[in-house]
Structure 1
Amino acid sequence: MAETATARRSRITPEREAELYAAVLDLLREVGYDALTMDAVAARTKSSKATLYRQWGSKAELVVRAMRHSKPGNIADIDTGSLRGDFLALLAREDDCVMEQNSALMRALAMAVHSNPDLLKAFRELLIEPEIVEMRKVLQRAVDRGEIRPDNPAMDYVLHMVIGGFAARTFIDDLPPTQEFLRKYFEAVVFPALGV
């Protein structure tokens, strides 16, 4: 799927692609996934619906690629020399305003993912699975440095913990996630679970 999508998108410049992705995310925030249409994206971006389908194949793939594009980079690209430093650097990549926007998008998509098999498939293939691979690289570096035991059972649940802390902040406290909250969460939950 990734090779096909890359081949399909080859005619769009990186600048135009970024512009399209930003428009998709803006529309998602405004109307939600179910009400978002390729017609609306085409109108907002002054492109044809045929072009959108030719480049991305489906609304689900376009939406998930837009979310992936908005991420500030790969987790594994951060290497401060310590696991604690890597996670804190990860948290520092997005300010509180961006985190609040991303939290709203995730809440909106959480419902749609469970009722739309195409979106769920794209979400897993293009967002979740690459994050799992990246997280494993970060954790393996920590194992190689002797920071965490290779048999630590919490390693299989780090991404669950991170997403859980991010998502649960709004549901439990009726507040958006913030850098301060997530730093405290990592100190109280993630680091102790990993033994760092």
Structure 2
Amino acid sequence: MSPQDTAHEPAHTSRRSKITPERAQEFYTAVLDILRESGYEALTMEGVAARTRCGKSTLYRQWGSKPELVTAALHGTRSAMLPHIDTGTLAGDLREAARAIGAGSGRDIPLMHALGHAALQSPELMCALRESLILPETATIEAMVRRGAERGEIPADSPAAEFVPVQLLGVLRARPLLEGKYADETYLIRFVEHTVLPALGLGAPAPRS
């Protein structure tokens, strides 16, 4: 039976997991590296097998198809760009968030771009992309804004508050398309100081040291 035939068999008859968690992480890392380097269309099960020195039948038995393998890789390597941040002020939190997001932009944005078109055609892939790269950061930024409102730094009904995650994460995608550059730490901090904070009513940029 060919790997292609195996890919369409029911999961309970075709897949027998003998892959250790450590070995699975090797596969996931290879998948994401190839996506960043070459894009989704260029990713093949054969290419992953060659890079990880395994038979492609192993990949087909375990994951069945390329979309399933990519989805598993996204879930299995989920790592938030944002560490725990609580400086005591909303402005400080957002500056630190900008610093952390900018530091990871060269790693995560190529992956988002590589998966963008494919994810639009696959609800499962879109869900994995959102859950692994987008929702954790969105939730963290929303928590920062909520704490700022609870401390009285911004009104609880601030009309700008709901747009903060969209601003910070949206500019990550927009700058490479518009200017051919990543939104790095310096750029994102400036963006926060001159766009996000004024919209929230938090005043002028911090003085430069």
> Please, what TM-score do these two structures have when normalized by structure 2?
0.71
Residue number in structure 1 paired with 2:93: 86
After superposition, the CA RMSD in angstroms is 3.0
2:59 is the counterpart of 1:49? yes
Structure 2: gaps (5+ residues): 1-16, 203-209
Larger Rg: 2
Residue number in structure 2 paired with 1:109: 115
Identity %: 35
Kept in 1: contact 2:25–2:77 (CA 8 A): no
Kept in 2: contact 1:161–1:190 (CA 8 A): yes
1:171: Cα distance to partner?
1.6
Structure 1: gaps (5+ residues): 1-8
2:174 is the counterpart of 1:163? no
2:147 is the counterpart of 1:137? no
1:51: Cα distance to partner?
6.5
* Aligned counterparts of 1:72 and 1:52: Cα–Cα separation in 2: 29
Alpha carbons of structure 1 residues 95 and 154: separation in structure 2 relative to 1, 3 Å: closer
* Aligned counterparts of 2:123 and 2:37: Cα–Cα separation in 1: 22
2:190 is the counterpart of 1:184? yes
1:6-64 deviations in Å (ceiling 9; x for gaps): xxx9x744x5555443322211122312332344334423453157429xx92342242
The structure richer in helix per residue is 1
1:1-150 correspondence to structure 2 within 5 Å? 12-13=20-21, 16=23, 18-46=25-53, 48-50=58-60, 52-53=62-63, 58-65=68-75, 68-69=78-79, 71-74=80-83, 77-93=84-100, 98-150=104-156
Displacement over 4 Å in runs of 4+: 15-18
Kept in 1: contact 2:81–2:137 (CA 8 A): no
